[in-house]
């Protein structure tokens, strides 16, 4: 006969079953399609494109990465760099490349002690300066993975396409922090790319994002979100992307790589700034994004309770093994697709602790002021 303790543990076992089902739903419904995706509709036309980069005190990164943007294999494009109140050597670096590359244009924002602003103003100036309908965005600390980046992203635009969501990874380095940053990037990419593939686009990353200039102005730009520190990329996509107007492009030649944070403090500030936008997502998107880490936390917690008490442990381990098998297979395939190396083993460990880490970031977000006008 079951006593009260056994009834409680049976309830925990049923919770484990439910959490396992939710986890498998995410991996099979959204994450696996990222690994299996192949673009079926590409354009052979090469319309003119404007690449927009906003930079504040990025002289070293511009000197390293801007030439890779300026030497794309594409017949007609311009590169607009918005020099936003830089106090380093950015002006001289850009001057050097202006002489060499006629398709480079520079817009400058001068510092005004009476007026502070966030990154969205720099983005807006770049968009207004663009002469082309198709806009491709990246950051000053990003480099394209190939000289076919622009051509590959542009090929995904058809008459119906407004947004093209790309993959922006981070440079591989040493240490646990670098591994976690890359893991975090991969998991976020699996979510937004997978949901877009399944007709539920909800965000893009400004490191590798393209959309139509006309759509920006027709939808009133950043609108009510203008004063937010972040959201120049994901909130505009969240508010305007649909299943019918959004495409994805993440073949290896279309990737970008960014310089990752090198200190925990820098990563903390970056992650906290990005979390400020999540509360402004559509309600359904917020629910979808919350359900995965919540169910994952419940999965590991209920598994631990059952194993500690030795209750139906073979079945509990079977749930764990099933999820682990599918998780590992999907991660290996996705990492191969996204050209990410030496991260799968660490991902299995980060999978357990990342909900707690994100909860800490999210909680800390409300306990301190975020520096509302600092965009970098």
258 with 154, same domain: the answer is yes
Domains identified in the chain, total number: 2
Whether the per-residue pLDDT at 42 is higher than 50: the answer is: yes
> How high is the pLDDT of residue 365?
55
29 with 103, same domain: the answer is no
Q: What are phi and psi of 201, to 5 degrees?
A: -65, 135
The full length of the chain comes to: 376
30 with 103, same domain: the answer is no
Report whether 281 contacts 289 (CB < 8 A): yes
> How high is the pLDDT of residue 364?
66
184: three-class secondary structure by DSSP: helix
> What is the token pair recorded at 361?
């970031």
> How high is the pLDDT of residue 230?
73
172 with 118, same domain: the answer is yes
299 with 152, same domain: the answer is no
318: three-class secondary structure by DSSP: helix
75: three-class secondary structure by DSSP: coil
Is the pTM here over 0.85, yes or no?
yes
Split at pLDDT 50, 70, 90, the class of 112 is confident
> How high is the pLDDT of residue 120?
85
> How high is the pLDDT of residue 187?
95
Boundary-marking domain end, from 245, 263, 278: 278
Whether the per-residue pLDDT at 40 is higher than 60: the answer is: yes
Split at pLDDT 50, 70, 90, the class of 323 is very high
Which of these ranges, 8-12, 223-227, 309-313, has the smallest mean pLDDT? Answer: 223-227
User: Does any domain span residue 376?
Assistant: no
Whether the per-residue pLDDT at 316 is higher than 50: the answer is: yes
* 156-200 pLDDT, tens digit each: 999 999 999 999 999 999 999 999 999 999 999 999 999 999 999
User: Does any domain span residue 246?
Assistant: yes
> How high is the pLDDT of residue 375?
55
- Using alpha carbons only, what angle is made at residue 177 by residues 210 and 274, rounded to the nearest 5 degrees? 40
Whether the per-residue pLDDT at 16 is higher than 80: the answer is: yes
> How high is the pLDDT of residue 370?
43
Boundary-marking domain end, from 232, 253, 278: 278
> How high is the pLDDT of residue 373?
44
**End-to-end Cα separation, the chain, in angstroms:** 62
* 117-159 pLDDT, tens digit each: 778 889 999 999 999 999 999 999 999 999 999 999 999 999 9
* 264-274 pLDDT, tens digit each: 888 888 887 77
| Mean pLDDT across 46-69 | 97
299 with 248, same domain: the answer is no
Report whether 240 contacts 162 (CB < 8 A): yes
CA–CA gap between residue 103 and residue 311 (Å, rounded) = 68
Sheet holding 142-144, edge to edge: 142-144, 256-258, 168-170
Highest mean pLDDT: which range of 113-127, 245-259, 358-372: 245-259
Report whether 149 contacts 72 (CB < 8 A): yes
Whether the per-residue pLDDT at 372 is higher than 50: the answer is: no
Side-chain-side CA neighbours of residue 353 (13 Å) = 8
H helices present in the chain, as ranges? 4-26, 32-36, 59-70, 90-100, 119-129, 149-154, 176-197, 213-218, 234-240, 264-275, 283-309, 313-337, 344-367
24 with 45, same domain: the answer is no
Whether the per-residue pLDDT at 371 is higher than 50: the answer is: no
CA–CA gap between residue 351 and residue 358 (Å, rounded) = 11
Q: What are phi and psi of 247, to 5 degrees?
A: -125, 160
What's the domain range around 314?
4-35+284-367
Report whether 123 contacts 51 (CB < 8 A): no
Per-chain mean pLDDT for the chain = 91
23 with 129, same domain: the answer is no
| Mean pLDDT across 65-89 | 96
User: Does any domain span residue 372?
Assistant: no
| Residue 70: closest CA among 82, 53, 46 | 53
260 with 289, same domain: the answer is no
Whether the per-residue pLDDT at 374 is higher than 60: the answer is: no
Q: How far is CA 15 from the centre of its chain?
A: 31
User: Does any domain span residue 206?
Assistant: yes
Side-chain-side CA neighbours of residue 372 (13 Å) = 6
């Amino acid at each position: 006969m079951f006593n009260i303790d056994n009834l409680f543990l049976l309830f925990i076992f049923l919770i484990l079953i439910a959490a396992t089902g939710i986890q498998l739903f995410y991996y099979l419904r959204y994450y696996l399609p990222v690994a299996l995706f192949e673009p079926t509709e590409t354009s052979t036309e090469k319309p003119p494109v404007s690449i927009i980069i906003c930079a504040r005190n990025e002289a070293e990164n511009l000197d390293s990465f801007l030439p890779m943007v300026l030497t794309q294999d594409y017949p007609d494009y311009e590169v607009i760099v918005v020099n936003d109140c830089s106090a380093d050597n950015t002006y001289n670096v850009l001057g050097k490349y202006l002489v060499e590359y006629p398709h480079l244009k520079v817009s400058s924002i001068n510092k005004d002690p009476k007026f502070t602003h966030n990154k969205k103003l720099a983005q807006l100036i770049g968009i207004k300066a663009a002469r082309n309908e198709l806009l491709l965005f990246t950051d000053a600390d990003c480099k394209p993975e190939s000289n076919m980046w622009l051509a590959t992203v542009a090929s995904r635009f058809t008459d119906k396409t407004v947004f093209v969501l790309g993959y922006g990874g981070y440079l591989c380095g040493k240490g646990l922090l670098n591994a976690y940053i890359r893991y975090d990037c991969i998991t976020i990419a699996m979510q937004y790319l997978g949901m877009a593939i399944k007709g539920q686009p909800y965000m893009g990353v400004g490191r590798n994002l393209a959309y139509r200039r006309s759509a920006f102005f027709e939808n009133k730009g950043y609108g009510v979100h203008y004063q937010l520190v972040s959201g120049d990329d994901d909130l505009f996509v969240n508010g305007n992307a649909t299943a019918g107007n959004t495409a994805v492009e993440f073949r290896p030649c279309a990737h970008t790589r960014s310089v990752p944070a090198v200190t925990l403090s820098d990563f903390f500030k970056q992650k906290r700034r990005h979390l400020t936008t999540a509360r402004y997502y559509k309600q359904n998107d917020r629910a979808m994004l919350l359900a995965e880490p919540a169910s994952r936390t419940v999965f590991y917690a209920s598994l631990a309770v059952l194993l500690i008490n030795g209750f139906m442990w073979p079945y509990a381990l079977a749930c764990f093994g099933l999820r682990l098998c599918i998780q590992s297979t999907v991660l290996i395939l996705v990492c191969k697709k996204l050209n990410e190396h030496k991260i799968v083993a660490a991902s299995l460990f980060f999978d357990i602790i990342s909900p707690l880490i994100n909860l800490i970031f999210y909680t800390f977000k409300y306990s301190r002021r975020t520096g509302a006008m600092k965009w970098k």
